Structure 1
């Protein structure tokens, strides 16, 4: 048989210099290596150069990363054409029906769904780390009575770096998160997962407690059935001695947590990676990631839209006005999906159950 020539490449010619380069196409990811374009160098028409022979490489300009990938991920995959979202190869719609948030968290972190023993160990490790240092609680008491919960959360996450110097590569060495084991027998990464996932839910609950003037803050639930049940317990318990969160709400929130657990290189993920690349401690990087989520174009955009609507009676008027303008409705899917966003239909069904 006649061999088929390899056509998985681009041939790029710069007519100004006459130079031609060949850029291979990665057929698995349908991407090219942008750094190869640096082979095309020209003398710029605007100053500087310092000398006439100075040449600068061609750069690819893509504001907003609209057609640029910055990493390769095995954690999740978004199929915008088919309206599908996969976590580690599992369809998110299947995970919502068959798995708990803790199981999905384990899957995203370690790459496989846990066995029953692994799940129990994972859940216990998180539960052990849901208690907040008393000095950090004192810090939270210094926030204004009307401080936004996200602002309090960002600040307290960043403060964790001062309580855990052992997690700071600047203090412990740059190989901290690639070294196999700490003296505790855990890797530094595993310990961080337990601390981060445990403390974060506690901080959110404490931030709400501060906002509504509920002191002292609720402690974690004794023997909770799940991560989500414990979260609702810390949010809603008053002075009852036998309070248990509504199982229906616990189940709904658990499914919503799964839907929002991962979505590729979103703004917060890119911010986390960007900060981590400098070798900063994980808590500072995580607070920066949370700060990105607090941005006007992220979560707060939905809240602003709901404030505009103001009441159920004004929904029809609001939609009529928006239909006549070239604007987006916030919170109704992601632009990467060409048709349905699989998370929206599930969230809608869950909302009708409340």
Structure 2
């Protein structure tokens, strides 16, 4: 049984929800309750499937019980904290217990036993690669290559110090012009164009892999462009130095400082990405140092590959429902990820650490957080009420990466350094220790999340803080495209495809009269009306 107060059905005022208006008070039955029976689809605790109530059935049941109600009824759920808009087989999260699974596989096992390319197969196809050959083919398709000339020119049009996420979002959106055959807006049809362009699983897989490879290639080129620092012919050459539209060809990056024999095709996507991103860096790590950082990079991509229906993935699905092409959808997801409360959180962590500045200031900063004067970035999570399972893994990675850490002084080149000489990393370690043993944070379930540790690791690898969200986008592109493909697959079997269109509770004024203005202030046509 579900009970509603009738006052919400008869509301017609400009008040915010929660305070009945005078107009409502005039109804003699304004405070009467409406009780209706509702069918509940039971969940399955063993499989982790949540139960649910159909919103449409709620509205229909209340309308049937209250046929004389003079307003419509919507379910009000700011932030969609209790609203499910789709059914998915991709990722499962139990925030209370700190559980994260891709297609049923625990994230801890995936991070330890498989590579990012394997996870891409798992998310897109539903299963891990069955053979080494399948794995090699997938890695070859994902390996970042060179940019088409027109795309290199577009990227080069941005100043080297433009924020990398702005550049990535713009360039990804413009990929639509390079692949007009994948644009539903250009296909013949009146709504069935999605099925024409992305109609089969094989088509969607080809599109998804090409899109992921393109995002990775752009991300690597953006970092190279930032190192150019000034527009020049030499900088333009850097952008196209790595072959692009040939995914089966190993990148020509021997000049990046690789050891003899180190220019063979990489065995992980993390290694291939770092080769492309550091292709023009004379101080790029080699040998054991490169292997350690490449393994860490690949693991971070695994951890960031998907996280259920987060803000950026919801944006991806939202635009997909409108029939937009895949690159426009990706650009929207990148835009959502850009926010400091989402993908920009690890960048915000480094800014916070810089603000603290010194280990001696940690206690004072923590106390200011308790007084709600400042925010503690990188702690707590919208979903997890216990330790973020990804954070535990990245914390272990941090210790491995610090042994081969690179620093990049402002305006200078990167160089190897000892684990203890970076003030910000010392601040991070002190802040973690302080928060983990403070009852204020423990009682509020404010544990370090993946953003706190990944920011530290990215810095240790020599990436500038503003580039952190781009690395997040490279890894998350697998999840975005898995959800995109799943949504289109569901559309194949749906009788009707619904564009995403949330409803609102209008709380503004009503029935106002526009004052008559002097004729001189109106157009000639309006003046004659």
Q: 1:36 aligns with which of 57, 82, 103?
A: 57
**How has the CA–CA distance of structure 1 residues 174 and 60 changed in structure 2, closer, same or farther, with 3 Å as cutoff?**
same
Instruction: Indicate whether 1:309 and 2:339 are aligned.
Output: no
Q: 2:366 aligns with which of 319, 332, 335?
A: 319
CA drift of 1:327 comes to 6.2
* Structure 1 residue aligned with 2:496: none
Aligned residue runs from structure 1 range 161-180, under 5 A: 161-172=176-187, 173-180=193-200
Instruction: Indicate whether 1:121 and 2:137 are aligned.
Output: yes
CA RMSD of aligned residues (A): 2.9
Preserved CA contact (<8 Å) 1:37 1:57: no
Preserved CA contact (<8 Å) 2:181 2:197: no
Instruction: Indicate whether 1:61 and 2:61 are aligned.
Output: no
Q: 1:25 aligns with which of 27, 40, 60?
A: 40
Give the TM-score, by structure 2 length. Answer: 0.58
CA drift of 1:326 comes to 7.7
Preserved CA contact (<8 Å) 1:256 1:347: yes
Partner deviation per Cα, 1:159-186 (whole Å, 9 max, x = no partner) = 00000011111112231355238xxxxx
Q: Secondary structure at the match of 1:299?
A: coil
Gaps of 5+ in 2: 7-28, 44-49, 188-192, 230-234, 244-250, 253-264, 402-529
In the alignment, the residues of structure 1 paired with residue 348 and residue 34 of structure 2 have an alpha-carbon distance, to the nearest angstrom, of 52
Gaps of 5+ in 1: 1-9, 45-52, 182-186
In the alignment, the residues of structure 2 paired with residue 324 and residue 302 of structure 1 have an alpha-carbon distance, to the nearest angstrom, of 23
Preserved CA contact (<8 Å) 1:309 1:315: no
Greater mean alpha carbon deviation, residues 152-161 or residues 245-254: 245-254
Preserved CA contact (<8 Å) 2:4 2:34: yes
Instruction: Indicate whether 1:156 and 2:156 are aligned.
Output: no
Preserved CA contact (<8 Å) 2:183 2:197: no
**How has the CA–CA distance of structure 1 residues 171 and 304 changed in structure 2, closer, same or farther, with 3 Å as cutoff?**
same
Preserved CA contact (<8 Å) 1:41 1:56: no
CA drift of 1:193 comes to 1.5
Preserved CA contact (<8 Å) 1:41 1:55: no
* Structure 1 residue aligned with 2:422: none
Q: 1:296 aligns with which of 323, 336, 340?
A: 340
**How has the CA–CA distance of structure 1 residues 309 and 239 changed in structure 2, closer, same or farther, with 3 Å as cutoff?**
closer
CA drift of 1:142 comes to 0.8
CA drift of 1:303 comes to 2.2
Instruction: Indicate whether 1:94 and 2:114 are aligned.
Output: no
In the alignment, the residues of structure 1 paired with residue 162 and residue 340 of structure 2 have an alpha-carbon distance, to the nearest angstrom, of 17
Give the TM-score, by structure 1 length. Answer: 0.85
Greater mean alpha carbon deviation, residues 62-71 or residues 314-323: 314-323
* Structure 2 residue aligned with 1:230: 272
More helix by share: 2
CA drift of 1:230 comes to 1.3
**Count of aligned residue pairs for this structure pair:** 332
Greater mean alpha carbon deviation, residues 258-267 or residues 109-118: 109-118
Q: Secondary structure at the match of 1:176?
A: helix
CA drift of 1:22 comes to 2.6
CA drift of 1:321 comes to 2.7
Greater mean alpha carbon deviation, residues 340-349 or residues 221-230: 221-230
CA drift of 1:333 comes to 4.5
**How has the CA–CA distance of structure 1 residues 27 and 248 changed in structure 2, closer, same or farther, with 3 Å as cutoff?**
same
Partner deviation per Cα, 1:217-267 (whole Å, 9 max, x = no partner) = 241624222211111111112276x98570000011111111111111000
Aligned residue runs from structure 1 range 143-222, under 5 A: 143-172=158-187, 173-180=193-200, 187-213=202-228, 215=235, 216-217=238-239, 218-219=241-242, 221-222=251-252
CA drift of 1:210 comes to 1.8
Q: Which ranges of 4 or more aligned residues in structure 1 deviate by more than 4 Å?
A: 11-20, 242-245
In the alignment, the residues of structure 2 paired with residue 317 and residue 213 of structure 1 have an alpha-carbon distance, to the nearest angstrom, of 40
* Structure 2 residue aligned with 1:7: none
